[in-house]
Structure formats: structure tokens, C-alpha cells
Structure 1
């Protein structure tokens, strides 16, 4: 727990031994100590891997913003996550997260409308009931693994938006995690490459069949939106629709659950904060922003230099992979006062949890609404959480996640009535 809430010592960090590619670091080590040492001592540093591959590690906020914002100098079309390092990305130029403008802009605009705050607030009642159904196990006095259960929660929000049957939500949620955390033996199968291939194949096959079965009939969900979208005067190909279904699913499923688990962990460490939010509900929006900064569930985003460019005082060569470490940028002492304090009233809070620039997360509005409902319900229904077992973190260099966190809850007086009454309401 303490690795996120105590300013790490940096003097003992041997930068020559640092390996930010290693997924074990995020499961059992302390990346925050390493990130802080890099910010202070070597903020633009080349990471050489034993197999000959390498990449630039970017750990300061202002540098990360430049890399993520400037698509003319740093392209998304060479692979945007470390698991594609040194290999060809088949989604390049086809999937929104692996595209540069102007194609990226044309693909994003219709999705922006469907995922706008104005459109989504109409679903708020449905989303609140989904949150309360998720919290029903708290009525039992026995320990509940909030982190494990939370991995299925985002499908309650994104499943209807995408237009996928509820019967498929649980399987899609688990396969999504396997696709983004293939190094974790609990979710992957065999080696890393085998796990990635299996998860990606299953998701692509699923959406390919779903899109094929729809034929030419368009609907008002996200899949229908993609099927009706045009880029450069032409409709998307079947593969492009499938790639972007996959991207939207992963964007929702892989990171959001870890904001919930990490926030509850912060409230366990600082119970007075939970009381503060309960007493002042107007703090919920800023608490959500702080939860996003605090958890930074997407560890990194990768780009490739288009031309030779200087970042800080370091020369980066054309073609070099450049990795912006979001978890580090969101603890940058030059930008965030007391960055290792979970401050639900923090303002301003210009965190990078949703990215930055043209690739700012298209699903940010629904994530904010959903997380606002989760925080509001948690502090309104639960007086105190207690850990009921060890906290286990995910073995992944991309997902900064908690995979197991058993808790017991001490409910407020009216919580049982509220949970039971609301979850029995018809849709």
C-alpha cells in the first residue's frame, strides 16, 4: 500500500539496474521510487533490453505532454504499447488509437457525439442501478474480493453502448484483461506472445462475427456508429470496424476497474477522506479526478519519433520508440503539489490518466460519470472498509492494476434498504 502514498527514497535507486519493461516490477516492486529517481536524475533515458530492443523512457509531465500532443513529431502508427515494441503493428492506420490525424479525427468525431456527456447523462439511472448491483455483495459480512469483482463492472456501462449481448459481458471482460496483461499467469496462457495471440484472436473473431451478422443494418450503438463512419470519403472496411470495436472494449474494460480498487485502498489508508466526501457530496467530481491521477491505470503510452528531435537536452533519433510513463507524470513534483497525498479537493488537477492531445480518451465522459456514481455510492453506503487479506497487483507493464483485494464493509444504517430496493427496480 505505502508505495503510492509515501514519497519514495531515490538515493538508493541504481538507474543502471532499472528495467521499466519488466512486468514483475509493477506486481511486486516500487515503480514510483524509480520514476521519481528518473524525474530528478535522468528524465529522458534510454532503456536497453537484453534482447537488443530499446526505448526512451519519459518521466516528466511536460515532456510526456509534448510526446502525446505532437503527432507530427511523435506518431501513433508504429505501435502505442510496449508489447508491440520492435514488431509490426497490424492495427497501424486502422484503429483509432494507432492512427494520426486526419484519419484519426474523422474516425473520432462521430464517436465523440455518442459518448458526449449530454448523451450519456440520459443513462445515469441505469448506470446507478448497475453500481448498486455491483455493491450487493457488501450486504454479506464475509470478505468480498472487490478488485476481482470490479473487473466485470465496466461492461455494465459499455456493453449496452457497444451493442453486445449481456450474456457475453463476463467473457469479454476477462478476455480484455488477458489481452492487456498477458504476462500475468492468472489471465494469460502459456508465454506472453501466446497469451496475446489467443486473447486478440478471440476478441477479433467475436466482433467479426457480430459485425458480419448485422449485415448492412445500422443501429444507434457504437458498433452501428463505426459501421456508418466514413474516412476520406469511404466507409470503414470490415477489419477497421472490428479493430475499433476491440479498441473501445479494451479502453473501457482494462483500466476503469483499477481506479475503483485503488480508490478504495486509498480510503482504507485515509478513512477521514471518506468521511469528508460523505459530508460534502460536492467533492465527488474532484475526488474522481484525484482517483484518476492517483491510480493512473494506464501505465504508459508509446509513440515513435518521426524525425530527429530534442527532448530536454537529449537527442532522439527518427524511428526511436518513446514511452511516456503516465504514472510518473501524474506524480511530477513540478506540477502537482504534494503529489503523494490523496487530496480529493485538489485543484487544478491536470492529470494525464486519459492521455493528452488528439488521443485523449474518447470514453472519458462515460468513465467520469461511472466513477462519480461509484464514489458517491461507496461513501454514501459504506462507513468504513477494512482489508480482509493481501492486496495483489497485476503483473503488467501497461495496466497499473490491483487484481485481488478482499475487503469487508461496515455499512451505514440505511445501506441495506437502499441496495435491495434500488436493485429490484425494473429497467
Structure 2
């Protein structure tokens, strides 16, 4: 690699790089052109190959028998690799088939079209509630903190069956779980303290499991608590892992898409006007928001045997980082990829992954975003930035953490 591509690849392990989208995408563009499969060695992290081309990521995702999620599903420091292994987390993103397939089946029915239709009224109700909140808070608000983090939180907690009195705690824990690279969200720089949010979430959901087993209810929490695996009830670690991934991934990703979508509309007023004039574009606009923001920045895979991709040999045991942020700006896939286009069609973004690990909650996320903007845009007379947007420092899941806006609503 050239010195420039070395620096660009190393950026993928720098949480601060994701706070500056212009710098990030400039580096990813250079990588796609000069070193699409790049070896990365940086302090505190085990080395890995950075994969930045859309086609290569799809190839690796398809080869799930060769490239496995275990033992390194996401990019974290060596110390956090050891911490996760010690805790024994087994979420959908930590496991491979056949266990992954069996775990996925437990919650699959709750995210199918029939279930989404049943949740549509709740999504619309909450959309009205939080747009009304904007009216009350106006003419200015921090759109992330006052709207975008709460709307999907209420949706996913409704699905799980968590009482509304606990929503605030869940928000705090999920932000700390995904935000321990960000000075504003993390609890403490001490390594032991960074595990506190995870352990508190596990404690909460262990109690929820006991409650649902004693008194089953008609919600996803009860389905998880009373599920079986190979004829036996799920272990404590498996039930808590399931709750944690639904609660955290089902919230932070959608929040990032809604807030990032709002920023994109403000920065592209022609596209905002286009969408307001033609609401039938909303399904396409939703996918463009998801492509544009790419809330899940990467996943990792580990090669189980030697493999050659784009002329580069990856040895058995070596890890690859799948940069979805890069794939979603790949010039070979997207016409004018740095143009925000609410009518983009086709839109082969990889924000939900691909293959057997395709996001279980993709339909729910699309429905929530659609409901929210379908409620907001007809009522939006005017909107503009009222300050500087701020992005979360992360290498995994994230997006805006502050979006000050000034607006007028009907």
C-alpha cells in the first residue's frame, strides 16, 4: 500500500474518524481506488483486512461457511475482544449457523409482514406524538436528543413489552453500550467501567426473563423467555443476549437513520421539496436515508480457511472488516453516490448487511422511518440548521448525537 492508503485504512479503527464524514469518505474513496483489500495494523487492535468494495463485501457475506462471525464479530480493542469472550455473549451477530439460524427463528415471526401490519398503528401514533413534541418544543430543538432517540426507542420497547417507566433506563444503557468510544456517552475510561452498561442491561433482562417465565404475556420478551433450543429452555446468557441485541440494535440504528435523514433533507432542500410534493417517493426516500447514513459502519468476519479475493490472499484465522460505509458510496454500484436522491432506484445499499445475517429488523426500521417522515413532512412549513451537527465517535454503530434545528410546523 502507499503511505496514503495505509493512513486511510488505519482510519477505520479510529472512532474519531466517524465524527468527520467528509474526511472519512475521502479516505474510503481513495481506498476503493488504490487498496480495496488493505492490511491494517494499529495499536490496541488485533490486525485485520479492510474490505471496502461493495462486490467484495457481498462475496464474503455469501461465503458464510468460510467467513464466520465468531470469534470476532465487530471491531473492538484487544481488551474488549477478551472481555466479550469472557462474558460469553451469544447474540445473533456473535453466532454462526446452525446456532444462528435457530436463534433467529425465535424472533423471526415478530418481524414478518403480518407483525409489521399489526404494529403500523403504533408507529403512526408515536410519529404523531413526537412531531407534536416538536411543536411544543419549537421553534428550536435538538432533533436527535428530543425526537430521534425517543421515537424508535418507544417502538422497540413496545415490541419487547418493556414498561414505559423503564424506557429512560434502556436509552441510557443502549447509548453507553454503543457509545463507549464517545466522551459524551461513555461512563469512564477505565476498562472495567466500560463493561458496566452491558452488565446492567444483562441484570435488567435476567429479571425480565424470570417474570415472563412465571407469567407469560403476548410480547417478544415472553417469546424469548419461553423459547427452547434443542428441546431445552434458552440459557440465561442466551436469553439476555437476545434481549440486548433487540433493544440496542433495534433502537440506535433507526435513530441514526431518522436523524441523519433529517440532516440530509435540510442540506438538500431541493430533495425535501421534491419529497413533500410527491409523498409516493417515501419508500425510496427511506432507503436513501438508510444508505446515506449507514448506521452500522462495519462487521467483522474471520476466515476459516485460506481465501483469495481481488488478487489478495487472506490466510485462515485472519479477520476482515466489512466497511458498509464504503460499500454504500461505491462508484461501481451507485450512480453519483455522493448525491442524496430521494428517488434513487435501484438502491442496492448494504446497510442491513447481506446473506444469512441480513438484519432481522429491516422491515421494522423501514416502517418506523416511513411513518415518522410521512407524519412530519406535510406539517413542516420551514426548517434549517440552528447550530453545528455533532456525530458520535464510534467504529461500530452510530450517527448524529446532536442536531440543532429551527423550524415551523403546522
TM superposition score category, shorter chain reference: over 0.9
Decide which moves more: 126-135 or 384-393: 126-135
Q: 1:311 to 1:216 in 2, by over 3 A?
A: farther
**1:42 to 2:38 alignment:** no
Using the alignment, how far apart are the partners of 2:131 and 2:230 within structure 1?
46
Please state how far the C-alpha of 1:169 moved relative to its aligned partner: 0.7
Of residues 97, 100, 104, the one that matches 1:104 is 100
**1:299 to 2:291 alignment:** no
Superposed CA deviations along residues 244-291 of structure 1, whole A, max 9, x for unmatched, are: 100111111221111111111111111121121122111110110111
Q: 1:233 to 1:84 in 2, by over 3 A?
A: farther
Q: What are the equivalent positions in structure 2 for 1:237-316 lying under 5 Å apart?
A: 237-316=235-314
Q: 1:328 to 1:92 in 2, by over 3 A?
A: farther
**1:133 to 2:129 alignment:** yes
Q: What are the equivalent positions in structure 2 for 1:115-194 lying under 5 Å apart?
A: 115-139=111-135, 140-149=137-146, 150-191=148-189, 193-194=191-192
SS of the aligned residue for 1:83 comes to coil
Using the alignment, how far apart are the partners of 2:240 and 2:284 within structure 1?
35
Equivalence for 1:17? 7
Q: What are the equivalent positions in structure 2 for 1:89-100 lying under 5 Å apart?
A: 89-90=84-85, 94-100=90-96
- State whether residues 46 and 77 of structure 2, in contact with CA within 8 Å, keep that contact through their aligned partners in structure 1: no
- State whether residues 93 and 357 of structure 2, in contact with CA within 8 Å, keep that contact through their aligned partners in structure 1: yes
Q: 1:195 to 1:324 in 2, by over 3 A?
A: farther
SS of the aligned residue for 2:349 comes to coil
Of residues 362, 365, 384, the one that matches 2:360 is 362
Equivalence for 1:423? none
Long gaps (5+) in structure 2: none
Superposed CA deviations along residues 70-109 of structure 1, whole A, max 9, x for unmatched, are: 2111111212111265734337683222111111112212
Superposed CA deviations along residues 128-165 of structure 1, whole A, max 9, x for unmatched, are: 12112212243244420001222222121111111111
Superposed CA deviations along residues 318-371 of structure 1, whole A, max 9, x for unmatched, are: 111211011100110111111111111111111111111111111111111101
Of residues 50, 54, 62, the one that matches 2:55 is 62
Decide which moves more: 167-176 or 207-216: 207-216
Q: 1:203 to 1:120 in 2, by over 3 A?
A: same
SS of the aligned residue for 1:114 comes to helix
Of residues 383, 394, 397, the one that matches 1:396 is 394
Q: 1:152 to 1:85 in 2, by over 3 A?
A: farther
SS of the aligned residue for 1:327 comes to helix
Using the alignment, how far apart are the partners of 1:327 and 1:196 within structure 2?
26
Equivalence for 1:214? 212
Using the alignment, how far apart are the partners of 1:257 and 1:129 within structure 2?
17
Q: 1:400 to 1:158 in 2, by over 3 A?
A: closer
Superposed CA deviations along residues 31-50 of structure 1, whole A, max 9, x for unmatched, are: 11111110010001011012
Q: Give aligned pairs, total.
A: 401
Using the alignment, how far apart are the partners of 2:363 and 2:138 within structure 1?
34
Superposed CA deviations along residues 363-404 of structure 1, whole A, max 9, x for unmatched, are: 111111101011212211113211111111101111241101
Please state how far the C-alpha of 1:192 moved relative to its aligned partner: 6.5
Please state how far the C-alpha of 1:223 moved relative to its aligned partner: 1.6
SS of the aligned residue for 2:280 comes to helix
Long gaps (5+) in structure 1: 1-11, 416-427
Please state how far the C-alpha of 1:124 moved relative to its aligned partner: 1.4
Q: What are the equivalent positions in structure 2 for 1:330-409 lying under 5 Å apart?
A: 330-409=328-407
Equivalence for 2:225? 227
Decide which moves more: 95-104 or 189-198: 189-198
- State whether residues 72 and 94 of structure 2, in contact with CA within 8 Å, keep that contact through their aligned partners in structure 1: yes
Equivalence for 2:19? 27
- State whether residues 74 and 305 of structure 1, in contact with CA within 8 Å, keep that contact through their aligned partners in structure 2: yes
